[in-house]
Amino acid sequence: MTNGAEAMDTNFYEQVYEVARLVPKGRVTSYGSIAKALGVANSSRMVGHAMAYAGTASPKVPAHRIVNSSGLLTGRFHFSPPELMQELLEQEGVVVVNDKVKNFKKVFWDPLQEL
């Protein structure tokens, strides 16, 4: 089998999606934490880029649960509509005020804690 379907096994992006999908409902995590969990703490930006591709990935990735280290919804404009990100978070019980997660420390989910 040439196994042709996936040309990307241990792709970095796949790993990001995997961790992102592990984020429990009502919780959020940061790009840097994911990057660090994957061993590329200094490449936090790559995580963000990967999330941008999340919309093209399958199954879909709960990118709305991913915020920056400040708990700010930096990528809300990548959703459609941009307000969707905050809506989804609030639907899951995450309070968002002024484009940032309320009680961020409480709803923060650390992948390293699970791994």
Partner DNA sequence: AGCTTGACGAGCT
Partner DNA sequence: GAGCTCGCCAAGC
Is residue 102 part of the contact set for DNA (CB under 7 A)? Answer: no
Site residues (CB under 7 A) for DNA, limited to 35-54:
40, 42-49, 51-52, 54
Strand partners, 30: 67
Tell me the C-alpha distance between 43 and 22, whole Å.
20
Is residue 112 part of the contact set for DNA (CB under 7 A)? Answer: no
Question: One symbol per residue from 59 to 98: x for binding DNA (CB under 7 A), - otherwise; what is it?
Answer: ----xx-x-xxx---xx-xxx-----x-------------
CB of 32 to DNA, least distance (A): 3
Is residue 109 part of the contact set for DNA (CB under 7 A)? Answer: no
CB of 5 to DNA, least distance (A): 19
Tell me the C-alpha distance between 107 and 9, whole Å.
31
Name the token pair of 35.
């990057």
For tokens 């978070």, name the residue: 89
Inter-residue contact 51 to 63 (CB < 8 Å): yes
